[in-house]
C-alpha cells in the first residue's frame, strides 16, 4: 500500500462505535437473548447499588409489547440513585462506572452493562432512553443517548421532577427483540435471581400482562461488599512497572506492605532470600524490568498468607435452602457451601451448591416431562446462556452420577444449582454468561457436588425401599381377605374378626421387618452407594490453598 493510500484509509474509532458494530460481544444478539440480557444488566445494577448502600432492594420490572419484535422495558429500583452530575457519564458512556479495577464482590465489573443496553435501544429504535435518578429529594429526569463517535453521553432533555424519589428508573425501547416462553426468558432470569437473592423483592409484569411477585425472605440482610487489596501472588511484571510511576520513591518492600494484602516482614525476608538484591533497599524507580521479573519469580516460590476471605458474600446455606423450598418446593433438597478458598494465586472464591429433586425441580418440557436443569450463578447473578462453554457445566459433567445410584440424571426431575462468589469472576467474555474453566474452581464445584449427590442417592434408595414395602403390604392385605373368607367357611367364625386379626398379624410382621431393616439401613446405604474412588482421591488431595499458603493464624501483619 502506498503511503498516501495508507494515510487515506487510516481511521480511528471509539469504543462505543466498536460495540455498536460488535454488540454480540456484550451478549446483545439473538432476539430472546438480547431482551433477557437487557433485563439482566439493569437488574444487576439495581442489586449491586442496593448492596453497596445497605438497602433492601425492591425492584419493579415490566416488559410492554409495542408491536412486532418491539418492546419497552422498565426497571425501577429503590437504591441510592446516581448523583445528578454523574448520571450521563455512568449510563451514557461505555467503559465508565464505579466498579472498575476494584477487588470487590459485585455483579457488574466492566462498565458496559447498562450503557450497552442504552446503545442497543438507540440503534434499534432511534430513540433515547428515559432515566430518572433520585438520591433523596426531587429527582432528575433525563433523555439519554450515546454519541457513538466520541463515546460520550448525549443528553436530549433534562429537568427536575416535582416529587420525591430515591433510586434509578430506566425506560428503554427495543426493536428486533422477542419474548418467548423459554427457560432463557426474563421470567426465568428473575425467578433465579430471587432464589439467589432472598433479600430482594422483585415484581415482574411480562408482555402478556401477567404479574409475578417474588417476596423477600424476612430477616436476611446481606453483608455490604468490602474492597480488598490485591494479593502479591497475582502481581505481574507489567503491573509493577506501572506502579513504579506513582510510587517511585517507595522501596519495593514498602510498596508490597502498603498496597498489597497481608504482606509482612517474614514474607519480605523469604522473597529476599531468593534474590541477589534487597527489596527493602531498592526503590521502585531504581528497579528495572529484569529486577521486577526476578521479584515476581521469587514471589511465585514464596509461601505467603491467603488473601482475606471474609469479603465474600455467599447466599448462605440457610437462606438458599429457604428460598429453594419456597420457590421450587422440592421433595428432597441438599444445600451446602464450601469453605472460602482461592484461585489463581490470590483471588478469593466460595462455592455453594444445591440439589433439589421432585416438586417443581427440573426443567418442564412441552409434553410436561421433566428434565435435569442446571442453574449457574456468578455472584448470585444467574447465567442463562453459553452453558456449554462454562466451567460450572464442565464440573457437573465430570461427576460420575451413576456411582451415587443416580442413573440417567438427564431425565430426572432434578435442579442442580451452583453459585460462585468471588471478587473477580473469570468470565469468558464481556457478555458475562460463562466462567472460565479454572482448575481450582472446577475442583471446588466437584467436591461440593459429590457430597450433595451422595445425599440424594441415599434419599432415592430409601424411597425405593419404602415403595417396595408398601407394595408388599398391599399384596398381603389382598390375600388376607381371601384367607378370611376360606377360614369363615371352614370354621364358621366371624369374617370381620378374622380379617382384623390377619391385618394385625401382617402389620406386626412388617413392623418387625422394618425394625430389622432400620438396624441394617446404615449398612444398606453405605453398601449401595460406595464412596467414590474419585471422591477419595479428591479428599486425599491436599487443598491448593495449603500447598502454597502458610497456615492461617500466625501471620506477621
Ligand atoms: N440502578 C443503579 N443504581 C445506582 N447506580 C447505578 C445503577 N445502574 C448503574 N449505576 C452506575 O452506573 C455505572 C455503569 O453501569 P454499567 O454500565 O452497567 O457498568 P457496571 O455495572 O459494569 O459498572 C455503575 O458502575 C454504577 O456506578
Ligand atoms: Mg452493570
Q: Which atom of ligand 1 is nearest to the CA of 77?
A: 1
CA atoms 513, 514, 520, 521: torsion sign = positive
Residues 528-541 have pLDDT tens digits of 454 555 555 555 44
Distance CA 46, CA 51 (A): 9
Q: Is pLDDT at 524 greater than 70 in this prediction?
A: no
Edge to edge, the sheet with strand 201-205 lists 152-160, 140-147, 129-135, 166-175, 70-76, 58-67, 201-205, 211-214
- Which CATH number describes the domain made up of 232-301? 1.10.8
Higher-confidence position of 93 and 479: 93
From CA 96, how far away is CA 480, in angstroms rounded?
79
Tell me: the pLDDT tens digits for 384-420? Answer: 999 999 999 999 999 999 999 898 999 999 999 999 9
| Alpha carbon 295 to chain centroid, angstroms | 35
| pLDDT tens sequence across 235-268 | 999 999 999 999 999 999 999 999 999 999 999 9
Smallest Cα–Cα separation from 346: which of 238, 239, 254, 228?
228
Residues of the chain with pLDDT > 70, as a percent, come to 93
- Given a cut of 80, whether residue 543 has pLDDT beyond it is no
Q: Are 20 and 150 within 8 A, CB to CB? A: no
Span between the terminal Cα atoms of the chain, in Å: 60
CATH class, range 15-214: alpha beta
Distance in Å, CA 114 to ligand 1 centroid: 7
Higher per-residue confidence, 548 vs 424: 424
Could you tell me the distance, in angstroms and rounded to a whole number, from the CA of residue 445 to the centre of ligand 1? Answer: 30
The residue whose CB lies within 8 Å of the most ligand 1 atoms, and thus the one to mutate among 54, 93, 100, 108, is 108
Q: Report how far ligand 1's centroid is from the alpha carbon of 21 (Å).
A: 22
Closest-CA residue, ligand 1 atom 10, reads 45
- Res 557: pLDDT: 31
Pocket of ligand 1 (CB under 6 A): 41, 45-46, 49, 77, 79-82, 90-91, 97-99, 108-115, 168
Query: Which ligand is in closest contact with the Cα of 117?
Result: 1
> What does the DSSP assignment read for 150-216?
TTEEEEEEEEE-SS--EEEEEEEEEES----SSTTSHHHHHHHHHHH-TT-EEEEE-TTS-EEEEPP
Q: Which of 442, 406, 375 is nearest to 195 (CA)?
A: 375
For ligand 1, pick from 19, 77, 87, 90 the residue to mutate: most ligand atoms within 8 Å of CB: 90
d(CA 14, CA 37): 23
Is residue 84's pLDDT more than 60? Answer: yes
The four Cα atoms 245, 250, 252, 253 give a dihedral, to 10 degrees, of -150
- The mean per-residue pLDDT over the stretch 286-311 comes to 93
Find the farthest-apart pair of alpha carbons in the chain and give their distance in angstroms, rounded: 120
Tell the residue nearest (CA) to atom 13 of ligand 1. Answer: 97
What is the gyration radius of the CA atoms in the chain, in angstroms?
A: 30
Does the pLDDT of residue 198 top 70, yes or no? yes
Query: What average pLDDT does the structure give for the chain?
Result: 90
Calculate how far, in angstroms, residue 86's C-alpha sits from the geometric centre of ligand 1: 11
Question: 172 or 222, which is more confident?
Answer: 172
**Average pLDDT value for residue range 160-173:** 97
Grid cell locating 406: 443416580
All structural domains of the chain with their residue ranges: 15-214, 232-301, 317-456, 459-540
Each residue of 97-152: pLDDT tens digit?
A: 988 778 899 998 888 999 999 999 999 999 999 999 999 999 999 999 999 999 99
Considering every ligand atom, which ligand is closest to the CA of 118?
1
Three-state DSSP class for 543?
coil
Closest CA to ligand 1's atom 20? 111
Tell me the fold of 317-456. Ribosomal Protein S5; domain 2 (3.30.230)
**Residue that the C-alpha cell 493510500 belongs to:** 5
C-alpha cell at 444: 471446588
Residue among 296, 285, 284 nearest 252 (CA): 284
Residues in the chain: 557
Q: In this predicted structure, what is the pLDDT of residue 545?
A: 38
* Per-residue confidence (pLDDT) for residue 538, from 0 to 100: 55
Range in 167-171, 189-193, 403-407 the model is least confident about? 403-407
Exposed, middle or buried by CB within 10 Å (0-12, 13-18, 19+), for 236?
exposed
Residue with the nearest Cα to atom 8 of ligand 1?
Answer: 45
CB 230 within 8 A of CB 262: no
Mutate to test the pocket of ligand 1, among 16, 26, 46, 48 (most ligand atoms within 8 A of CB): 48
Tens of pLDDT, residue by residue over 51-82, are 999 999 999 999 999 999 999 999 999 999 99
15-214 and 317-456 in the same fold: no
Amino acid at each position: 500500500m502506498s503511503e498516501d493510500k495508507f494515510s487515506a484509509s487510516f481511521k480511528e474509532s471509539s469504543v462505543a462505535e466498536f460495540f455498536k458494530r460488535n454488540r454480540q460481544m456484550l451478549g446483545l444478539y439473538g432476539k430472546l437473548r438480547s431482551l433477557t440480557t437487557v433485563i439482566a444488566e439493569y437488574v444487576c445494577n439495581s442489586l449491586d447499588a442496593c448492596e453497596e448502600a445497605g438497602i433492601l432492594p425492591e425492584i419493579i420490572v415490566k416488559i410492554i409489547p409495542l408491536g412486532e419484535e418491539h418492546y419497552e422495558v422498565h426497571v425501577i429500583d429503590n437504591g441510592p440513585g446516581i448523583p445528578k452530575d454523574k448520571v450521563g457519564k455512568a449510563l451514557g458512556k461505555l467503559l465508565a462506572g464505579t466498579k472498575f479495577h476494584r477487588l470487590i464482590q459485585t455483579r457488574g465489573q466492566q462498565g458496559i452493562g447498562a450503557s450497552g443496553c442504552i446503545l442497543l435501544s438507540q440503534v434499534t429504535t432511534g430513540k433515547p432512553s428515559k432515566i430518572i435518578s433520585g438520591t433523596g429529594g426531587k429527582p432528575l429526569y433525563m433523555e439519554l443517548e450515546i454519541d457513538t463517535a466520541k463515546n460520550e453521553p448525549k443528553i436530549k432533555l433534562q429537568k427536575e421532577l416535582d416529587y420525591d424519589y430515591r433510586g434509578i428508573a430506566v425506560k428503554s425501547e427495543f426493536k428486533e427483540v422477542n419474548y418467548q416462553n423459554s427457560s432463557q426468558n426474563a421470567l426465568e432470569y428473575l425467578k433465579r435471581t430471587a432464589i439467589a437473592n432472598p433479600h430482594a423483592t422483585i415484581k415482574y409484569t411480562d408482555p402478556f400482562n401477567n404479574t409475578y411477585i417474588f417476596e423477600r425472605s424476612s430477616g436476611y440482610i446481606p453483608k455490604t461488599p468490602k474492597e480488598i487489596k490485591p494479593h502479591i501472588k497475582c502481581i505481574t511484571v507489567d503491573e509493577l512497572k506501572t506502579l513504579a510511576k506513582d510510587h517511585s520513591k517507595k522501596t519495593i518492600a514498602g510498596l508490597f506492605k502498603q498496597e498489597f494484602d497481608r504482606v509482612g516482614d517474614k514474607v519480605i525476608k523469604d522473597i529476599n532470600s531468593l534474590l541477589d538484591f534487597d527489596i527493602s533497599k531498592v526503590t521502585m524507580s531504581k528497579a528495572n524490568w529484569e529486577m521486577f521479573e526476578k521479584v515476581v519469580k521469587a514471589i511465585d516460590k514464596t509461601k505467603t498468607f491467603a488473601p482475606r476471605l471474609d469479603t465474600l458474600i455467599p447466599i448462605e446455606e440457610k437462606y438458599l435452602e429457604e428460598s429453594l423450598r419456597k420457590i421450587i418446593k422440592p421433595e428432597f433438597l441438599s444445600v451446602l457451601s464450601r469453605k472460602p478458598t482461592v484461585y489463581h494465586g490470590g483471588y478469593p472464591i466460595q462455592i455453594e451448591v444445591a440439589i433439589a429433586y421432585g416438586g417443581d425441580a427440573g426443567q418442564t418440557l412441552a409434553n410436561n416431562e421433566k428434565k435435569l436443569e442446571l442453574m449457574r450463578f456468578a455472584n448470585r447473578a444467574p447465567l442463562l446462556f453459553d452453558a456449554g462453554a462454562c466451567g460450572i457445566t464442565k464440573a457437573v459433567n465430570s461427576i460420575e452420577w451413576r456411582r451415587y445410584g443416580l442413573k440417567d440424571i438427564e431425565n430426572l426431575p432434578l435442579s442442580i444449582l451452583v453459585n460462585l462468589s468471588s471478587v473477580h469472576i473469570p468470565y469468558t467474555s464481556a457478555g458475562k454468561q460463562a466462567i472460565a474453566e479454572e482448575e481450582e474452581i472446577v475442583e471446588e464445584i466437584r467436591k461440593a457436588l459429590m457430597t450433595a449427590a451422595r445425599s440424594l442417592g441415599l434419599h432415592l434408595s430409601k424411597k425405593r425401599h419404602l415403595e417396595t414395602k408398601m407394595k408388599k403390604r398391599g399384596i398381603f392385605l389382598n390375600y388376607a381377605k381371601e384367607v378370611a373368607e376360606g377360614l369363615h367357611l371352614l370354621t364358621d367364625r366371624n369374617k370381620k374378626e378374622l380379617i382384623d386379626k390377619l391385618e394385625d398379624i401382617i402389620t406386626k410382621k412388617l413392623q418387625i421387618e422394618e425394625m430389622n431393616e432400620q438396624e441394617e439401613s446404615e449398612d444398606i446405604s453405605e453398601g449401595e452407594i460406595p464412596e467414590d474412588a474419585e471422591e477419595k482421591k479428591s479428599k486425599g488431595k491436599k487443598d491448593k490453598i495449603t500447598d502454597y499458603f502458610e497456615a492461617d493464624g500466625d501471620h506477621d501483619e
